[in-house]
Amino acid sequence: MKPRLAILLGSVVAALTALVAVSPRVVAADKVDPAADAKAFQNFFFQKFPKLKPEEFVNGPYSMNEDLKRQWQEKEEFPPYEFALDAGKEMFATPFKNGKTYADCFPNGGIGIRQNYPYFDVKEGKVITLELALNRCREANGEAPYSYVKDEMASLTAYMAFTSRGKPFDIKIPDDPRALEAFENGKRYFYTRRGQMNFSCASCHVQSPGERIRAEILAPALGIMNAMPIYRSEWSGMGTTSRRFVTCNSQTRAVPLEPQSDEYRDVEYFLSYVSNGLPISGPGARP
């Protein structure tokens, strides 16, 4: 084992032990209690990084490193996602062949609603993400669906996120056992180790935020969904939440799932709910 990886794995074990001591509910539970999970999840990060204001966690790695934060603030004067915003705004307003637009598919005409996604559809019994809702809107109006990982979908979600900037996440879990199951499934996926590196999502984003893996500074899991979609330098372009999940699986040498699979939608539901109250900051830009 390489020394750097050994050190990281050692820190993961130590931090996980501390996390269990602080709040066993975050790792395992006999009874599903999303509100208790969210409180414990947020408190863990607030105690781990006491100098950060809650709203700063949505800035990801920039909240963890002052030099990186200064570079980001300079970059925000001419943000690399600006082209996607312009394209998304134009696409959002362009009518489908039948004369309708995306505004006809969403509450409030689709403006300022990002903070309410994903949500649990009690009729369907499934989590509905913004990406999924956009493609369903297209198909309902006779249009072909877009790729879930980049390009048009990333631009559309970038524009919709931008119209919600500053609004706090307000994810609901209805009084439905299937919604609780979706939340719990998402939490389980987040904490389950997988792949050749035997990493879970939490290995990097709960136990090791602020630390480096190669040249990348790891972002905290708290607020990580608030910045989506994101422009990443390594992609040289925009990527959706789906793309981020697929990339994370690949980087840990696990088998990526299909975009918008139940597992990915459930983990997005979990991560969004535990970030309730933190503001939408998307679209974001990351190294």
Compute the chain's Rg from CA coordinates.
19
Q: What is the DSSP letter of 142?
A: T
Task: State the pLDDT at residue 72.
Answer: 86
The average pLDDT across 71-80 equals 88
Asked whether residue 12 carries a pLDDT value surpassing 50, the answer given is no
Cα–Cα distances (Å) from 257 to 66, 124, 191, 248, in that order, read 35, 21, 16, 11
Q: What are φ and ψ of residue 265, in 5° steps?
A: -65, -40
Q: Tens digits of per-residue pLDDT, 265-280?
A: 999 999 999 999 999 9
Asked whether residue 29 carries a pLDDT value surpassing 70, the answer given is no
Q: Where are the beta strands (DSSP E) in the chain?
A: 119-121, 126-128, 212-213, 216-217, 230-232, 237-239, 284-286
Asked whether residue 195 carries a pLDDT value surpassing 50, the answer given is yes
Q: Is 248 one of the annotated active-site residues of the chain?
A: yes
Confidence of residue 66 (pLDDT cuts 50, 70, 90): confident
Confidence of residue 69 (pLDDT cuts 50, 70, 90): confident
Per the listing, tokens 């136990």 go with 207
Q: Tens digits of per-residue pLDDT, 220-232?
A: 999 999 999 999 9
Mean pLDDT of the chain: 90
C-alpha–C-alpha distance, residues 66 and 72, integer Å: 10
What distance lies between CA 239 and its chain's CA centroid? 11
Peptide bond into 95 cis (omega under 30): no
Per the listing, tokens 């939440």 go with 241
Contact 117, 133 (CB under 8 A): yes
Asked whether residue 191 carries a pLDDT value surpassing 50, the answer given is yes
Task: State the pLDDT at residue 233.
Answer: 87
Asked whether residue 181 carries a pLDDT value surpassing 90, the answer given is yes
Asked whether residue 213 carries a pLDDT value surpassing 80, the answer given is no
Buried b (16+ CB within 10 A) or exposed e, 213-245: eeeebbbbbbbbbbbbbbbbeebebbbbbbbbb
Paired residues of 57 in beta bridges: none
Domains and CATH numbers, the chain: 35-78+172-286 (1.10.760.10), 82-162 (1.10.760.10)
Asked whether residue 75 carries a pLDDT value surpassing 90, the answer given is no
Asked whether residue 1 carries a pLDDT value surpassing 60, the answer given is no
Q: Tens digits of per-residue pLDDT, 115-162?
A: 999 999 999 999 999 999 999 999 999 999 999 999 999 999 999 999
The average pLDDT across 99-124 equals 98
3-class DSSP state for residue 199? strand
Percent of the chain with pLDDT over 90: 78
The structure's pTM equals: 0.88
C-alpha–C-alpha distance, residues 143 and 40, integer Å: 43
